[in-house]
Amino acid sequence: MKSKGFWTAVSLCFVIGCSSEDPRLAELQSQYLGQSLPSTATSLAALAAEPEAMNEVTVVGRIHGGDLDAFDSDKASFVLTELPDVGHSHDDPNDCPFCKQKLANAAMAVVNLVDESGKEIEVPADKLLGLEKNQDVVVTGTSSRVDDLLVIVASRVTPVADLETAHSLVEEPDYSVAGDVTSDQDDGDDEASDTSDSVVVLDEGVLPQ
């Protein structure tokens, strides 16, 4: 468990400036900054739609706070929003009426980084992990709800190279099974139709003995 003195020293590093190779910073970055992407992730919209918060989650989204700063200036916390559509990625979504409207209704979560004891890390997340506003990331951690607010306590944050890659991580529903059932039903209908077409009409007075 990190002592208060440890976090104070780390915070001072960002105030007065420390070498990027400072062992205290390197320890935090190695613990919280992911280097490889998972094979799949949940969209923030899908997570927000769950009636109850899931415990362990791996979710992909964009760091964006709307009209507010996406990063908390006093602790390692930031706002994560639903990914924009490909082709509608802007530094300022307010420049695009479509994006502005979608952002107003987008799923959103607050991501917090805490130490082993659950104490908030008193260093801004952008300074701690080198993150930026409008950056796409995968967040792994545990989720909960505080009233209507979705909160994720992150154990790892992994930057994503581009929006297309971020979207490729999201699992799409598999409709192949439903399609097979529909196909089977169609085949059954065809067989019934063939049977009805094969009815033989007997001539009057000629009955089987």
- What is the chain's alpha carbon radius of gyration, rounded to the nearest angstrom? 27
Residue 67 burial class via C-beta count within 10 angstroms: exposed 0-12, middle 13-18, buried 19 and up: exposed
* DSSP, res 57: E
Once rounded to an integer, what is the mean pLDDT over residues 134-159? 94
pLDDT of residue 178: 46
pLDDT of residue 181: 47
Top-confidence range, 137-141, 142-146, 173-177: 137-141
pLDDT of 168 higher than 80: yes
pLDDT of 49 higher than 80: yes
Q: Give the torsion through C-alpha atoms of 28, 132, 163, 174, to 10 deg.
A: 50
Q: What is the pLDDT of residues 179-205, one digit of tens each?
A: 454 445 555 555 545 544 544 444 555
Lowest mean pLDDT across 30-44, 76-90, 106-120, 168-182: 168-182
pLDDT of residue 16: 37
pLDDT of residue 35: 94
Domains in the chain (CATH in brackets) are 32-168 (2.40.50.140)
Whole-number mean pLDDT of the chain? Answer: 77
pTM comes to: 0.70
pLDDT of 145 higher than 50: yes
Residue 5 burial class via C-beta count within 10 angstroms: exposed 0-12, middle 13-18, buried 19 and up: exposed
